[in-house]
Amino acid sequence: MKEEGIELIKDGKRLDGRGFEELRPMKIEVGVLKRADGSCYFEMGNNKALAAVYGPREMHPRHLQNAKTAVVNYRYNMAPFSVDERKRPGPDRRSVEISKVSREAIEPVILKEHYPKTAIDIYVELLQSDAGTRTAGINAASVALADAGIPMRDLVSSVAVGKIEGEVVLDLNAAEDNHGDADMPLAMVTRTGTITMLQMDGRLTKDEFERGLKLATNACREIYELQRTALIEKYSESIGGGEE
């Protein structure tokens, strides 16, 4: 993954002007889709993720029903036009794996036992991709689940850390991911501090790993506040009718 000849850090700043521990700008919109039970549009830098949640609804095919809990399905999908070189539509090996780890990132907070025999379907579409897409998708999905009114223990927040030119930095963009030395996406349940997704590729020393872990968990707390605020804003509007 290492590529020579590209300068990723200049005068202590990254190519897009960020500091090492700075997140990309984020934008969250709740309830953007009419037909879905819950939805969220989430921007993280140049990533544009759209999550739609359906359910709890009847599980099909029925033999896949679970008599004790709801079954959670998660489909991560990249739009063909979301990347530089057109992506062939449909699931590939990468998206199958991302769907699996994303589902496992979110599932622990859903009170699935309240809805036996049902399915909760989470569809995440990446309309534009710029590294860290699975983390943007998880952030969107978590808010969309809350918007669908599905009982949850907490929200899940997600971000990646990585290493570029020997520095551990937060929230890699595509240039940094392509030319960097390591990438480590993570998801966390803020209330309990539990890490529900952790992946890593590239190469990190144990110290760098531990620093990255701290950096990512702190950033998840920041993202968590934004997710909460977006939900509160949406619902204080619809319930209170603007009492402020």
Partner 1 sequence: MGIEVMEDIRKDYVYDLIESGKRVDGRGFRDYREISVERDIIIKAEGSALVRLGDTSVLVGVKLDIGEPFSDTPNKGVLMTNTELRPGASPDFETGPPNENSVELARVVDRGIRGSEAIDLEKLCIEEGEKVWMTFIDIHALDNDGNLMDAAALGAIASLLNTRIPNERYGLTGEDTLSIRDTPVAVTMVKIGENILVDPNLHEENAATSRLTVISNADGTVSGMQKSGREGLKEEEIVEMVEIGIEKAGEIREKYLGDK
Q: Under the rule (CB under 8 A), what is the footprint of partner 1?
A: 1-2, 93-94, 96-97, 99-101, 104, 107-108, 182, 184, 188-189, 192-206, 209-210, 213, 217
φ/ψ (deg, to 5) at 221 = -65, -40
Considering the complex, what minimum distance in angstroms separates the CB of residue 38 from partner 1? 22
Considering the complex, what minimum distance in angstroms separates the CB of residue 240 from partner 1? 34
CB-nearer residue toward partner 1: 119 or 197: 197
* Cα–Cα distance, 80 to 84 (Å, whole number): 9
Considering the complex, what minimum distance in angstroms separates the CB of residue 35 from partner 1? 27
CB-nearer residue toward partner 1: 152 or 200: 200
CB-nearer residue toward partner 1: 16 or 97: 97
Q: Which amino acid, 17?
A: G
**CB of 153 within 8 A of CB of 109?**
yes
Say if residue 151 is preceded by a cis peptide, omega within 30 of 0: no
- Adjacency order of strands within the sheet including 167-170: 167-170, 156-164, 182-189
CB-nearer residue toward partner 1: 11 or 84: 84
Q: Is 58 exposed, middle or buried (0-12, 13-18, 19+ CB in 10 A)?
A: exposed
Considering the complex, what minimum distance in angstroms separates the CB of residue 16 from partner 1? 21
In sign, the C-alpha dihedral spanning 200, 132, 234, 148 is negative
CB-nearer residue toward partner 1: 20 or 209: 209
SS3 138: helix
CB-nearer residue toward partner 1: 201 or 233: 201
Considering the complex, what minimum distance in angstroms separates the CB of residue 192 from partner 1? 8
Considering the complex, what minimum distance in angstroms separates the CB of residue 22 from partner 1? 21
φ/ψ (deg, to 5) at 129 = -120, 135
